Structure 1
Amino acid sequence: MRFALDSSHTDFADSIDSLLAKSDMPAVIRSWNAGDTAPGVKVWQRLAETGVNGLLVDEAHDGLGADAIDLIVAVEQLGRHAVPGPVAETLAVAPTLLADAAPDRLSALAEGSLATVAAPPRVPFAVDADTADLVLVADGGRVSTGVAGERHDSVDRSRTLFSVTAGETLGDADTERAFDMGALATAAQLLGLGGTMLDISTEYAKQRKQFGKAIGSQQSIKHHLAGAAIALEMARPLLYGAALAVSTGSADARRDVSAAKVACGDAAYRVSRIALQVHGAIGYTMEHDLSLWLTKTRALLTAWGTPAEHRGRVMEAL
């Protein structure tokens, strides 16, 4: 099985990375945290112009008709830049549900509309339902529009959760596959978040000095950062393998998605702890950019399936 990405994937990832690097994402995230989502929505519109929003939308509905491999390539970059908003829901879950239940609504997604999804009981709340153009409820194979209700805060201030009630029924859909797509996209986000936290920490270790020497020169710091890098690189093949399994319709796709979600979540969480240790307490203050990545990592660990649930699915498959 070949896991390496080809040049089309790497070029696509580089183009997204370049776009987001020019968008001053820390400022965009802080604006979103404060309730001003306009700068973030503009970023999403620019992403839509590159085709990101329509990756899983069929060409007949103005999308790219791409596969899960293209999806994780894009979403990892969104994770690296901690893009706020319903990432997994807009790019992975909603297109999967609407392709079955209401394909006439897919074109709006490809054009840049944001969508969020609640899938009780495993995903009881819809992310950013106040900002999303479309709120969906997926329950027991049935897809309905959703009406946002009570607001719930998250450890990630850019990730607001809402209770939702089902409204108009749109139709039937493979809600289990949609759940798996949400888990796969979240795994890719976590891998991207981990990569940026490692980069930030490595650079900080080169600059921060104690007793006249950069702390990165200390063997203990080097070992911590090396361990974080290894964790991320060991998780990457599982993510690629899961995307390949989904793309080819493998019978083991569900198992592979769960394995990827666990591995990427564990790796990102490990990097977050090491990043905080390297930075000291300043890394967790809201004034430091690292906190934006730390809190998003913590929030996404349980998004689209808890680690315990996904470990259980792997055990059942074995």
Structure 2
Amino acid sequence: MRFLLTDEQREFTRALDGMLAASGTPTVVRAWAAGDTAPGRALWSRLAAAGVFALAVPERHGGVGPLPVELAVAFTELGRHAVPGPLVETVAAAAFLDRLDDEAAAAAWLPAIASGQSAVSFALLSPDAPYALDAATADGVFAVNGDTVRLAESAGAVQPSTDPARRLARPLGGAVLARGPAVTAAARYATHIARLTTAAQSLGVGRTLLAHTVDYVGQRTQFGAAIGSFQAVKHRLADTLIALEFAQPLVHSAALALAADDPSADREIAAAKVAAGEAAYGAARTALHLHGALGYTDELDLSLWIRKARPLRDAWGTPAVCRGRVLAGLAPTSELEPERASASASAQTES
């Protein structure tokens, strides 16, 4: 497949890149990790003004979507700049509410999501996966358990994660919003959106890791020569680039399939999630290796990207779960067990 962005999509990418580059996202990430969400919420409002969250909200509720391709483009940039917060979970919640067939709930939440007034979280809960991202600070947490969805009222203590800015907490209590087959169907679509945008985020994280590592190996010297001139280093960087280059068209193809409601969308999204997640994780390992001891320091801004790669690889579908979706022919599409296994593995990894 040959995929080229339109002029409008390329301009959207450039605008997001410019805005985020001027936003000092490393400072925002560190504040978010420390529990200070004010800088992050200010950036959230700017993202909303740029139309990012409106891409997941239908026009009748103040959005312009759902537009999976544009979401993939946007989330690649969010990953490149390490933007913190429940970004994936908010657009997944928007997709869930759009498909839930509950007009009252949609009218109450979707306009606020599109405008950036509400940052929400969304989670598929199970006994082994009881956490939701940013449940302690989100304006609302949509917690799906079986065929029931609740709007959580409170959250427990923050659960430590590999990525300090990835603040997991247990959603507690809350009134039942809906139950039945409609919840299951809406959760399945929301999972597709979550996997796609997580894959795009991973792709962006990998791109930044590679770019900074290439710059660094051109400056660091050993034996009087830049280490970037060593054949082994060149091979390592080339392998990282190839993995990212192979992942990008898979992400775009998955977005196109989802936009067209193609029956293959589930399989393509799972394949994109595996490829992008593994590519970003490989880029993190390469960056850590080639930066030497410097790569282990919290003071290095690049550590903010290095520590994101592993949680993103496992969130919303571990590599094993996503490969299973591809290889098994997606037979159990009427059930959510694979998604619950994904959430469980993700929670265990991040803990």
Report the counterpart of residue 36 of structure 2 in structure 1. 36
1:253-307 C-alpha deviation (Å, 9 max, x unpaired) = 1111100100001111111111111101211211111110011111111111111
- Determine the C-alpha separation between the residues in 2 that align with 1:165 and 1:36: 22
Report the counterpart of residue 129 of structure 1 in structure 2. 135
Deviation at 1:54, TM superposition (A): 1.3
Q: Is it true that 1:149 corresponds to 2:156 in the alignment?
A: yes
1:85-136 C-alpha deviation (Å, 9 max, x unpaired) = 0111112x11111112421110010111211112123853111112211111
Report the counterpart of residue 62 of structure 1 in structure 2. 62
Please state whether the residue corresponding to 2:36 is helix, strand or coil: coil
TM-align CA RMSD:
1.5
Report the counterpart of residue 199 of structure 1 in structure 2. 211
What is the letter of the counterpart of residue 312 of structure 1? G
Moved more, 303-312 or 124-133: 124-133
Identity of aligned residues (%): 47
Please state whether the residue corresponding to 1:301 is helix, strand or coil: helix
Report the counterpart of residue 96 of structure 1 in structure 2. 95
Contact kept, 8 Å, 2:136 with 2:156, in 1: the verdict is no
Please state whether the residue corresponding to 2:214 is helix, strand or coil: helix
Q: Is it true that 1:117 corresponds to 2:109 in the alignment?
A: no
Moved more, 214-223 or 40-49: 214-223
Please state whether the residue corresponding to 2:169 is helix, strand or coil: strand
Deviation at 1:166, TM superposition (A): 4.7
Moved more, 175-184 or 14-23: 175-184
- Determine the C-alpha separation between the residues in 1 that align with 2:205 and 2:88: 14
TM-score, scaled to structure 1: 0.96
- Determine the C-alpha separation between the residues in 2 that align with 1:73 and 1:213: 38
What is the letter of the counterpart of residue 270 of structure 2? S
Report the counterpart of residue 289 of structure 2 in structure 1. 277
1:147-199 C-alpha deviation (Å, 9 max, x unpaired) = 32242110100011011235122234311111121111110110000000000
In the superposition, relative to structure 1, how do residues 124 and 314 fare at CA in structure 2: closer, same or farther (>3 Å)? farther
- Determine the C-alpha separation between the residues in 1 that align with 2:83 and 2:278: 20
Contact kept, 8 Å, 2:72 with 2:200, in 1: the verdict is yes
- Determine the C-alpha separation between the residues in 1 that align with 2:122 and 2:169: 10
- Determine the C-alpha separation between the residues in 2 that align with 1:257 and 1:166: 32
TM-score, scaled to structure 2: 0.87
Report the counterpart of residue 242 of structure 1 in structure 2. 254
Contact kept, 8 Å, 1:156 with 1:299, in 2: the verdict is yes
1:246-257 matched pairs, under 5 angstroms:
246-257=258-269
What is the letter of the counterpart of residue 90 of structure 1? T
Contact kept, 8 Å, 1:142 with 1:175, in 2: the verdict is no
Q: Is it true that 1:294 corresponds to 2:294 in the alignment?
A: no
Contact kept, 8 Å, 2:88 with 2:194, in 1: the verdict is yes
Contact kept, 8 Å, 1:69 with 1:240, in 2: the verdict is yes
Count of residues paired in the alignment: 317
- Determine the C-alpha separation between the residues in 2 that align with 1:179 and 1:311: 16
- Determine the C-alpha separation between the residues in 2 that align with 1:248 and 1:166: 37
Report the counterpart of residue 5 of structure 1 in structure 2. 5
Please state whether the residue corresponding to 1:287 is helix, strand or coil: coil
1:40-97 C-alpha deviation (Å, 9 max, x unpaired) = 1111110010111111111121112241001000000000011000111112x11111
What is the letter of the counterpart of residue 290 of structure 1? L
1:5-64 C-alpha deviation (Å, 9 max, x unpaired) = 111111111111110000111111111122211111111110010111111111121112
- Determine the C-alpha separation between the residues in 2 that align with 1:256 and 1:123: 25
Q: Which runs of 5+ in 2 are unaligned?
A: 331-351
Deviation at 1:212, TM superposition (A): 2.4
